[in-house]
Structure 1
Amino acid sequence: MTDGVWNGLTELTEELADLYRDLHQHPELSLQEHRTARRLAEALAPLGYEVTEHVGGTGVVGVLRNGDGPVVMVRADIDALPVAEQTGLPYASTARAVDGAGHEVPVMHACGHDMHAVCLVGAATVLARATDAWTGTLLIVFQPAEELARGARDMVEDGLFERFPKPDVVLGQHVGPLPAGFVGHASGPVMAAADSAEIVLYGKGGHGSRPEATVDPVLMAAHVVTRLQGIVAREVPPAEAAVVTVGKLHAGTKDNIIPETAELGVNVRSYSPQVRAKVMEAIERVVRAECAASGAPKQPEITWHQSVPLLVSDPEATAATVAAFTGHFGPQRLLPMPLVSASEDVGVFGEAAGVPTVFWFWGGLDAETTIQALGAGQLDSLPSNHSPFFAPVVEPTLTTGVETLVVAARTWLGRAGGTEAP
């Protein structure tokens, strides 16, 4: 695309860099993104978008109508994580906040959502300045609470597709530990489904000197943790993939007191509905069986929550979008991606609207350093999402992220002059 759409992009990205550093320095936890949402709404309003705040909590929606044509939804997430930043950047976060459990925690944009949001502001700006090059409607969505796996569903349940134009396609992207300036793509299943369970095991408490008078939930929990690791190894077919993680285990208050209960937090990643159901059933079976084997006085409590569906990048829609990326960036800047075991709730939008979702990745780490690490098989040595050291280099990450969103949106918007989108 060599038309005038890109006029002024260099000057724009210099302004966007200031917004990025501001958002990075002032991160906000999921469901608390009030300042962030206000800044993003203020950025859209002068561009001619109909801006609505407080959608699904702290979500922001912008609508730009430009004649007849498809409705294209472009989404970015905006929340941060309870992580203490260690990047050493001059604009590093020192923010602290109180989380949903009432604990004071450090806050950092350790997953790159600040970069996602600013790139979407940039793309919305470019497209608003070039309305003579396309027709249709842009639906710009800044989504909160992705890290809680609920923000997309909250917006849908708040009437996103009843209050605003229903899209014909949903577009999204994620920055990650790839070389800056490169675009990663995959077709079909892209990111895993995720399910979490809170489990309470019940024992009988007592003095540590008299274990025979107790039912020890700590020992019970230890057996559960060990046995759960056999589910993927022995119940999931080798050709399939799944991950079972026990990320939380709390029990007791003192070394010589056997407590009444033990609490576990379990997370599951899967890539097919069949494996997902099989693993979740197996977890419940193992937990109940270990409790029975230990003589637990009460059945365990197993509560599933934070469910995220498998993210599928529609093959046909992805092929058209990647072809546009190839034409714009050149094939040398595109990287095929393997399945990613992390999860994303952007697929909730496409699923709820009954339309294709197209999702891709783009790089945020210094290109030379990253390429060297890839060549040496040392990718794990680089900071990745959720690390206290993860912060994308501003350029070319910012410019590339704006360009990918604009190219993808124009692939699906109508062409000025009447040519239909694919």
Structure 2
Amino acid sequence: MTDPGAYPAGHAEEFFDRAPCGLLTATWDRRIIAVNRTLVDWMGSAPDDLVGRTFTELFSVGGRIHYETHFAPLLKINGRISELAVDLVAPDGTRLPVLVSANLDGSVDDSQPLIRMALHDARGRRSYERELREERRRAEAGWARAEELAATLQRSLLPPSVSAPAGVDAAAHYHAAADDVTGDFYDLYPLAADLYGFFMGDVVDKGASAAMLTSSTRYTLRAAAVVDDDPGLVLHTLNTVLLQQAIDEGFVLTTVIVGTLQLTDEGVEVRLASGGHPPALLMHADGRVSEVDTRGGQAVGITANASFVETRFVLGPGDTLLLYTDGLTEARTGRGPSRFDDDGGLLRFVGEHAPASAHEIIAALTDLLSRLGAYVEDDVALLAFGVPALRR
């Protein structure tokens, strides 16, 4: 600690008067008994104009209320306060934001301690805080616009409604779990008077690149099905397109189920081919549920010699086919690592609702996703279609 005798006479008084912050001493009843030149200059007053006044008179109305209701009690209890933000108001109405720190000095009279107060010019800090708030406002507005754009873009990648042939019940649902654009997609659309095409897929990507890949994939699937409705050939066409696209844009990958619905006297004949997508579930009219065996199909876009699995079957009255993306099966069931389909949860859930129409099973799964809430960490696409049960 420096020896006070090392300073010239009057140094303490000069430091008080010329300190880079406003300084004052007041009695407990707020009456100013000493004030430094810095504070006098800030207020545009003479020292005699301030001595004898209460220091709260220098504050804005809001500052006075805040001091009396919050900070004066704290000062009395703790003996000090730090960085109270108030505005000083000069006689001409000019406002100066300051940060006030104070402590109690009971060395003169413990029953009436002195208040020693330092007031720091906060104009730079206030300006910085305003800039931060404005930047945050702009950032939040930007995030909101980005989220709106992502939602709009995501909706544009999905059909406004599925178009089912007469006599077929069809329903779909898209559950958005993330703010970013993801690559889940589906469609059900006419190819001829009695022939309809459908597909369900999931691009392994997110954001703008996922949107571009999803758009080109949907276009390719529809166009290829118009040229040749064979589901296996449609997948091979998509595979060729994605491999060519990968040359220009890098590795691309998607899982897809593609197929057709053909109206027959027995019901609806389904032909489908799978490229690495989770197996569709067939809900039978008698309440049984089974997976459509498409094991062995490879994801699309990996290799030129891709192997896809094809099958066909007939949906009779009361039968319903369900397609989904893996956001459903990989949804967590709670805070732990357990996933919804770790032990066959999806097959069991669908079995509890079978038999069911397309609208009924989509409604049940939509409710499930709502109940799982934030535990659904990836987007989910659902598509179901079937033949209504015969009326008895």
**TM-score calculated relative to the size of structure 1:** 0.22
State the structure with more CA Rg: 2
**TM-score calculated relative to the size of structure 2:** 0.23
Higher relative contact order (CA 8 A, sep 6+): 1
